[in-house]
Structure 1
Amino acid sequence: MIITSWNIRGLNKHVKQIEVNKFLTQNKLDILGILETRVKENKSQRILRNKFRGYSSFCNYSKHYNGRIWLVWNFSTTKVTILHVHAQVLHCHVHHLATGRAFHLSVVYGSNCPVKRKTLWDSLTDMAPRVGPWVVMGDFNIVRYSHEKIGNLPAHLPDMIDFNNCLSSCGLDDMQGTGNDFTWFNKQDPSTRVYSKLDRILVNAPKKQFKFLDCWIDHLDFHHQVAAAWTSRVTGNSMFRFIAKLKNTRGCLKQLHAVHFSSIGDRIENLRTELNQCFLDLQLNPLSEELITKEKELSLVFWKLKDAEAKILIQRAKIHDIKLNDGGSKFFSTRIKKRQQSQLIGEIQDLAGYTHQGLHEMGGAFVDYYQQLLGSYTPV
């Protein structure tokens, strides 16, 4: 299923209508959100009828006279149910007919006025508890971070905070993408040109959890990298700075893992092969200082990685959704046996001081004890 949105900046010209139709058909879009059409309501039906044949549509003229948001979808592949109409957002439910999958979709065209945008944030926040899988796409007319705008005056910090607070409360985050980060520019001279990331696609799909591995702490660069990430300069209120620093720290730890601990099993096997070859070379030339030094260095790295691998396996043994492989099954079986053995009772001692071992003897001792405590059944 392919969905997207396009801020067309006016759809009254015939050439733009043809271009949008071409974009829709060539990319085989199931859903297209067309923003900032500037088409009056009395002209909209003629354009939709002539340029979007075979497609259903909905516009938010009931909430804004200028047709800020048009939603066009292929009715042969997709069923769209409009849930709520707002001047800056259309909320709908989407059902893909081929796969049977369904999700909620919100198409946004945020106001240029920060005060009016607050009603957009309220609409998204109100919708969040009522949706399942959720896609929010469009032009928000505000950036999330200062580096998403270049040129002229910097982005207004309170507006960015409001935007990020809304996304945080809704559980939304940017979908990973490729291509240009800057989706809008003001077409001015280089001295006054501004580039911004105003268009984005947000999703509330659950992410993979970030797992902290104990083996990272033993690495020489760990404390230095964490300190550098945590002390990096971030502007904003206390909560915004705290979240930003957490993201920076997570990024540096992921980089540390990628460089030194990723595919650790393959690294160990490669080192084992190098060590075996080094031992063979030492057999032929046992007094070679170069080979002796190489053997020491390889052994040091090999055992460090083995220790790191063991710590990773220990952590993963506590995770329910682990998928055991041949290399780790013996390790996990041993751990499970030790855990089971620690919970077994091997012998007990009765009130007279006699020791009983084995399930049969211990069972009899328990029965005798409770018969003395509670008495035995006597028929009347």
Structure 2
Amino acid sequence: MKIGVWNIRGMNKEFKQHEIVDFFTSNKLDIMGINETRVRFPNFNSVRKRGFKHFKVLHNYDYHSNGRLWVIWNKASLVVTALSSGVQWVHLQIEAPGCVTYQVTFVYGLNSLEGRVDLWTFLKGIQPTCPWVCLGDFNCMRSLDERISNTAANLQALVDFNDAISMAGLEDMVTHGFAFTWTNKQEDGDRKWMKLDRVLINTEWAAVLPHSYADSLAAGVSDQSPLVVHIPSTEVPRPKQFRFLNCWAQDPSFPEIIKEVWQERIYGCSMYKLVQHLKVAKQHLKVLHHKTYSSLTERAKKKMCELQDCQGKLQRDPMNAALMLEEKELCLQYCNLKNAELSAACQRAKAHGIQMMDANTSYFFAKMAVRGVVVILAR
């Protein structure tokens, strides 16, 4: 699961829209907040159809005509519920497979000290009991170390921001990458750097998702760095389904394994003994697979390298009997690996074909058409 946020500094131009979509897809985001869109409400539908027709979109036009905040996502499995909106925030609840249910607040703070009072009041009043992440452009720093500038800082702004964070029970998420997220892009001594964008989390988030972290990336076409939050999956991986590979039966040790398993003495009814024998055989075959037939493609490539190396040595010493025997053995081993790889690939393809045809999909009808079978559908 990944969450992104970016102050794009206006996206009426088509290339900016492409930049956002490219950022979303290249970072494999699940949901993203877009700050400072500068898309007025009458233009919302045209911009959405032109650049974001494949996304679901939430916004805060009810509170500001310029669409200060958009939230986009495109996964059907992602359940997003809007909880609250304002001029400076969009507050959501998110449910996703393999991840805990959590709340996320996308923020774009106002430039003025007085204007941000409503944002601080809102953050202090949420107090959710579930994991909560708050991220975006706060237009404010936490300390003087987060700026490089010749002008004096507004110390009261820092005090208000830290007070709001403390009362809301938030703390900075571990963040890698660019330390300063905004620059005025001026030259020489007029250049300013500040950390205006950040990711904040509550104690529940830190307890439930301790391995999550954020990346602060290059600003690109904007003057502010985008942020990407990485959330590890909490889904317990399922054990792999056991499938018998036909290539196992060609292994020289296979008959001995089966003979040994079936000679084990097991007490009970006939069906119980059969099931227990099969269970024991499965464990032995798993060991055989791990030792000889796992990662067949990589094993075959490695064996081919060994064969080519041996043949190179033979070129330098053509009458070396030991190298001749080694070449013969390596060639046989390589052929056995390639045959096993082909056998396993054919089995997978056949299983996939059966599954797709059973689903009566377009794949099924395409196969029937190739075979010249006329399929008549009852109306």
User: TM-score by structure 1 length?
Assistant: 0.53
**Relative contact order, CA 8 A, sep 6+: which one is greater?**
2
- Label 1:55 to 1:131 Cα distance change in 2 as closer, same or farther (>3 A): farther
Looking at structure 2, the residues matched to 152 and 47 of structure 1 have their Cα atoms a distance apart, in angstroms, of 39
Q: In structure 2, how many angstroms separate the alpha carbons of the residues matched to 1:154 and 1:79?
A: 45
Partner SS for 1:49: helix
How far does the alpha carbon of each residue in 1:222-273 deviate from its partner, in whole angstroms, 9 at most, with x for none? xxxxxxxxxxxxxxxxxxxxxxxxxxxxxxxxxxxxxxxxxxxxxxxxxxxx
Aligned residues: 206
Shift of 1:50: 2.7
Q: Is the 8 A contact 1:146 1:154 kept in 2?
A: no
The CA distance in 1 between the partners of 2:129 and 2:104, in whole Å, is: 9
Q: Does 1:107 align with 2:106?
A: yes
Aligned residue runs from structure 1 range 1-380, under 5 A: 1-96=1-96, 98-128=97-127, 130-206=128-204
Q: Distance in 1 between matches of 2:148 and 2:6?
A: 21
**2: CA distance between counterparts of 1:48 and 1:204?**
33
How far did residue 29 of structure 1 move? 0.8
What is the CA–CA distance in structure 2 between the aligned matches of 1:127 and 1:64, rounded to whole Å? 22
Structure 1 letter corresponding to 2:179? D
**What is the CA distance between 1:131 and its match in structure 2?**
4.3
CA positional deviation for 1:6: 0.2
Runs of 4+ in 1 over 6 A off after TM superposition: none
Gaps of at least 5 residues in structure 1 are: 209-380
Aligned to 1:161, the other structure's residue is in SS state helix
Confirm or deny: 8 A CA contact 1:135 1:201 kept in the other structure. yes
Native 8 Å contact 1:41 1:66 kept in 2: yes
Q: Deviations over 1:33-86 (max 9, x none)?
A: 000011111111222223223321111000011100001112323111111110
RMSD: 1.4
For residues 92 and 119 of structure 1, the distance between their equivalents in structure 2, rounded to whole angstroms, comes to 18
d(CA) in 1 for partners of 2:197, 2:152: 18
SS at 1:61 equivalent: coil
Q: Quick check: which has more Rg, 1 or 2? A: 1
Return the offset for 1:28. 1.5
2:101 and 2:130 in contact (8 A); partners too: no
- Partners of 1:104 and 1:36 lie apart in 2 by 22
Question: Structure 2: any 5+ residue segments left out of the alignment?
Answer: 208-379
Partner Cα separation in structure 1 for residue 150 and residue 31 of structure 2: 35
Report the CA distance between 1:191 and its aligned residue.
1.0
CA distances 1:166-225 after superposition (whole Å, capped 9, x unpaired): 0001110111111111000001112111000000011113558xxxxxxxxxxxxxxxxx
What residue identity is the alignment partner of 2:123? L
* Cα contact 2:14–2:51 (8 A) shared by 1: no
SS in 2 for 1:114: coil
8 Å CA contact 2:58, 2:72 repeated in 1: yes
Q: Distance in 2 between matches of 1:154 and 1:48?
A: 41
